[in-house]
Amino acid sequence: MNPSRTGNEQPVNPAEPVKTDLALDITTDVCPLTFVKTKLMIEGMEPGQTARVRLNDGETLKNVPRSVEEHGHVILSLEPETEGSTVWLLVLQKN
């Protein structure tokens, strides 16, 4: 699956993790709880802070990044955790 991209993403190399202020793992959750948890985390962040979100492919991969952008935040990167993985890493920045 190839999620929509804005062109602003930077690749994440799992061997060199991107430093973020917060981290959230929503791989055991289902929509709409996936974005609810992501939104609650973002609401507790200060503008400019970054967060890494682990999410599964499929509906979550399609909806969470789109919703983050629709709420005015920036997707810094969106890449598979490892090559061929069904778990993705989303790095976002609160605006």
Percent helix, strand, coil in the chain, to 5, is 25, 30, 45
Catalytic residue among 18, 31, 41, 87: 31
Strand bridging mode 74-80 / 50-56: unpaired
Q: How far, in Å, CA of 88 to CA of 91, rounded?
A: 10
Known catalytic membership, residue 62: no
Give the count of beta carbons closer than 10 Å to the beta carbon of residue 76: 18
Query: Annotated active-site positions, please?
Result: 31
